[in-house]
Structure 1
């Protein structure tokens, strides 16, 4: 869908940048962290395991603790689509 919308706006596919993410939280938490996912269009079990590991590391960095032995849940999957364009020149 994102590809079609950008094509309809006149961008080419080589200008399109897709970034995937997943919002993860420990069970019972009221907040989550958005963790980047791999660059491919299809997820596999290795991507999920890597996201969980990055979640624990990010949680440790942000809050000073992690609970790698606790269950976690994915709350949202995210996609950010953007187009890479030429640098704009401003008139003086």
Structure 2
């Protein structure tokens, strides 16, 4: 019975610690961003890189996009999606 209680406690602790949100501050460098979010390193995927811009996406059910301009965090959003239906008015 005691082993079951310990196992349940460990399972709950792992569940709560895995739900930590991503921490960020606009204007911080990419090195600061990834240092603050060490526990999320496997969740970020680079989707675009150029001389000016680097864009990362989280690999979760609700994706967030992190835009770095010249190495500094410029914008965070959930991405833009094109509409499924386009209505044209012809008069």
Report the TM-score when normalising by structure 1: 0.22
Larger radius of gyration: 2
Report the TM-score when normalising by structure 2: 0.22
Structure that is richer in strand per residue = 1
Asked which structure has the greater RCO (Cα within 8 Å, sep 6+), the reply is 1
